[in-house]
A and B are shown apart, each in its own frame.
Chain A
């Protein structure tokens, strides 16, 4: 049935782009979230689905397809029909990082039609209180004096938490030991308990611990300071100029989405980034809203893939 509808749609698209533009969206849209329900991306996905539903006048259903750090769900969307009824709330991990580090069946630059990044969240450099440093500069100096002694936790090999620290290590000339955990939350917990010395963790996980002084915050990994932690310097302005490793979530469609649907979605997401209610909802999970054009998104993906490919070369 799905195939028949797809075929009819495809035929309709060939004969008249305008007809398609009027028709889309004619039925329920599925927004695939490639992560488990309740997580950070899931929250962003639900906020986005709610807004798109209002804006496009069609039901938008969130469908969680978790697995392999987001690869399973992203792969599913890459292989879906480019009819605008299957979209992905993709994230940096499975799109920019994983394809560099491991074998996946999609190409981040050609398998998708990127629409826009919707939210960004910086990573926060947190250290266990027993590590005798109070600033990111002291941290780098300490790491240089104690090569191979500082352990860091990550959400698993080949994830953003792992690669961001590797990039940091290669730029600062430090030797840091990778201890993989099964996710971001246990890695943060390990810094609190002292099992590892530090981690570059999601700001959502870091904020409550920083507030309670169970960990020390040293810096954020975004190019600009975060509005949620304005006192923390960036790595970019202190020890590594040009350093940037942010976690983003963006709406992507399978490659070959008709231009009309791209434009319609892009317009909707532009409105969303400026919407007061959305800004407030995203703020609650520690994220800032973002809007970029499909072209800017494509370029950003190319830059990121290049950066992580270079980092992987250095790790090897």
Chain B
């Protein structure tokens, strides 16, 4: 403990040079900016900026690149809340209640709570890296294919809870998501599935294209259809700073989201996404009045936002302590470090203490900078809603198209986005919610891949899922969750019958 504090002091010494502070600020500003612009994600930005960092020293470079990454998590919620466009997979759930809040003139509340929750979670996540990084990395290693499979089962069950409308339509949407997730090359055999011979589909459907289409483009079509919003944006602005009551109701959600996020973040593959989805599901389960969800519940913004920021920080743990990336962005970080002559691996903490502790301290500094940048910006963002919608929608569509294109430099993804925009519009007409569909889409391929891998390593023995304690635990929780979902709806069904 004392030793860690000493090392943090050393890290502070590393960071408190004008150059590194400036780089940290640059990273935070860039991150916020690309987070706000829909579709433009940290992967595209970091890869663009990486060549510029070659002239910097490695510590400064990694401080800036990390700042872009966690900064983007702050910014990602902004468009989700204001115009219903989640820029990252992690802000999909933020859009559900956040956008409703904005429509009710509570955009300021939502944005402020998102920023405050992100700040608290970011700092807590960083503390976890500093004090418990290496042991947590060992825990993450206990997660092999059977554990992942059970985790994905749990995630899919939780996706049902995400839906705020009918159970049947939620199930249908999850299965539609699962089906769309199957598109692409099969990892085990290399065979192309449902690609219609299109090479662009061989890696599957682009998540960004799908999310921007289902949410952003569909929202634009619906708004244009409604003559009232076409001319002038109807959203009221309301106050910018949240009241004590709002802060009080968000407090618990932020704490729970932070814990969930810190845990999920250390798991490779979609940890942050799982974290924000699970946090939403959890908040809905613990809430006294579940009907508020989907209609602008502050907990539905506070929890997931805290969760994804905590996860963004702790996802550095496998990278820094083991040299193993948990996501595409982390793989980029490894690339950046290697190009600077640092091989990220189990020895990096001992070999490069300046880098490790400097980076951790820079995360605290960065989080403080982010909250300072973001809170005053809220006033500005909310004013954006005053722009007449006939102008705003053009901006939304163009930026979305650029963002989608920037992911793979592929025009095909823009067509995909348009296609999903139309699908999203139809789904709205049928009152079907896209969030469970996205959850199925994200989790389905991981579910399949890990199931098949578990079957390969166990030589086809299904018992592997119940023999391993973590896997068994997750399956038991999933069954309990199914029961708790099924019971009330059975009861409600009966009441309906009696009423007739």
Pick from B2-10, B187-195, B224-232, B307-315 the stretch touching chain A: B187-195
Chain A residue nearest to B334 in the complex (CB): A38
With A37-B335, A209-B323 as known contacts, state yes or no: A157 contacts B345, CB within 8 Å: no
Map CB proximity to B onto A36-51 as digits: 1 under 8 Å, 0 otherwise: 1111101100100000
Q: Is A204 an interface residue, CB under 8 A from the partner?
A: yes
* A-B contacts, 21 listed (Cβ < 8 Å): A36-B332, A37-B46, A37-B335, A38-B331, A65-B409, A66-B408, A72-B203, A151-B456, A151-B457, A157-B187, A178-B456, A180-B453, A189-B322, A193-B144, A195-B457, A207-B343, A208-B347, A209-B345, A211-B343, A284-B340, A285-B338
Name the residue among A66, A67, A75 with the largest chain B CB count within 10 angstroms: A67
Q: Is B51 an interface residue, CB under 8 A from the partner?
A: yes
Considering only residues 319-370 of chain B, those with a C-beta below 8 Å from chain A are 322-325, 328, 331-336, 338-341, 343-348
- What chain A residues lie within 8 Å of B331 (beta carbons)? 36, 38-39, 185
Chain B residue nearest to A193 in the complex (CB): B141
- What chain A residues lie within 8 Å of B203 (beta carbons)? 66-68, 72
Q: Is A268 an interface residue, CB under 8 A from the partner?
A: no
Bound Cα distance A63, B47 (Å):
11
Chain B residue nearest to A75 in the complex (CB): B199
- What chain B residues lie within 8 Å of A185 (beta carbons)? 324-325, 331, 334
Name the residue among A38, A67, A68 with the largest chain B CB count within 10 angstroms: A38
Name the residue among B199, B323, B332 with the largest chain A CB count within 10 angstroms: B323
Q: Is B202 an interface residue, CB under 8 A from the partner?
A: yes
Residues of B near any A CB (own CB < 8 A): 43-44, 46-47, 50-51, 141-142, 144-145, 185-192, 199-200, 202-203, 268, 322-325, 328, 331-336, 338-341, 343-348, 408-410, 449, 453, 456-457
- What chain B residues lie within 8 Å of A158 (beta carbons)? 190
- What chain A residues lie within 8 Å of B343 (beta carbons)? 204, 207-208, 211
Chain A residue nearest to B350 in the complex (CB): A212
Give, as a whole number of angstroms, the nearest-CB distance from A5 to chain B: 20
Chain A residue nearest to B339 in the complex (CB): A43
Q: Are A36 and B328 in contact (CB-based, < 8 A)?
A: yes
Bound Cα distance A185, B192 (Å):
23
Q: Are B335 and A211 in contact (CB-based, < 8 A)?
A: no
With A72-B199, A192-B324, A284-B338 as known contacts, state yes or no: A46 contacts B346, CB within 8 Å: no
Give, as a whole number of angstroms, the nearest-CB distance from B355 to chain A: 13
Bound Cα distance A6, B420 (Å):
35
Out of B50, B187, B323, name the residue touching A181 (CB < 8 Å): B187
- What chain B residues lie within 8 Å of A37 (beta carbons)? 43-44, 46-47, 50, 332, 335
With A195-B145, A208-B345, A211-B345 as known contacts, state yes or no: A67 contacts B199, CB within 8 Å: yes
Bound Cα distance A189, B322 (Å):
9
Bound Cα distance A211, B344 (Å):
11
Out of B145, B268, B341, name the residue touching A284 (CB < 8 Å): B341
Q: Is A257 an interface residue, CB under 8 A from the partner?
A: no
Considering only residues 172-218 of chain A, those with a C-beta below 8 Å from chain B are 177-182, 185-186, 188-190, 192-193, 195-196, 204, 207-209, 211-212, 214
Chain A residue nearest to B347 in the complex (CB): A212
Bound Cα distance A36, B50 (Å):
13
- What chain A residues lie within 8 Å of B186 (beta carbons)? 157
Q: Are A71 and B202 in contact (CB-based, < 8 A)?
A: yes
Q: Are B185 and A68 in contact (CB-based, < 8 A)?
A: yes
Q: How many residues of A contact B (CB 8 A)?
A: 50
Chain B residue nearest to A37 in the complex (CB): B47
Bound Cα distance A313, B409 (Å):
36
Q: Is A292 an interface residue, CB under 8 A from the partner?
A: no
Bound Cα distance A37, B343 (Å):
17
- What chain A residues lie within 8 Å of B192 (beta carbons)? 102
Q: Are B346 and A209 in contact (CB-based, < 8 A)?
A: yes
Give, as a whole number of angstroms, the nearest-CB distance from B339 to chain A: 6
- What chain A residues lie within 8 Å of B346 (beta carbons)? 208-209, 211-212, 214
Considering only residues 267-297 of chain A, those with a C-beta below 8 Å from chain B are 281, 284-286
Name the 9 nearest CB pairs between A and B, nearest first. A208-B345, A37-B47, A38-B335, A38-B332, A212-B346, A68-B202, A157-B190, A158-B190, A195-B144
Q: Are A196 and B324 in contact (CB-based, < 8 A)?
A: no
Bound Cα distance A298, B500 (Å):
80
Q: Is A64 an interface residue, CB under 8 A from the partner?
A: yes
Q: Are B410 and A182 in contact (CB-based, < 8 A)?
A: no
Q: Is A107 an interface residue, CB under 8 A from the partner?
A: no
Q: Are A38 and B50 in contact (CB-based, < 8 A)?
A: yes
Give, as a whole number of angstroms, the nearest-CB distance from A184 to chain B: 10
Give, as a whole number of angstroms, the nearest-CB distance from A288 to chain B: 15
- What chain B residues lie within 8 Å of A43 (beta carbons)? 335, 338-339
- What chain A residues lie within 8 Å of B345 (beta carbons)? 207-209, 211-212
Chain B residue nearest to A189 in the complex (CB): B324
Chain B residue nearest to A40 in the complex (CB): B335
Give, as a whole number of angstroms, the nearest-CB distance from A292 to chain B: 25
Bound Cα distance A211, B333 (Å):
20
Q: Are B47 and A64 in contact (CB-based, < 8 A)?
A: yes
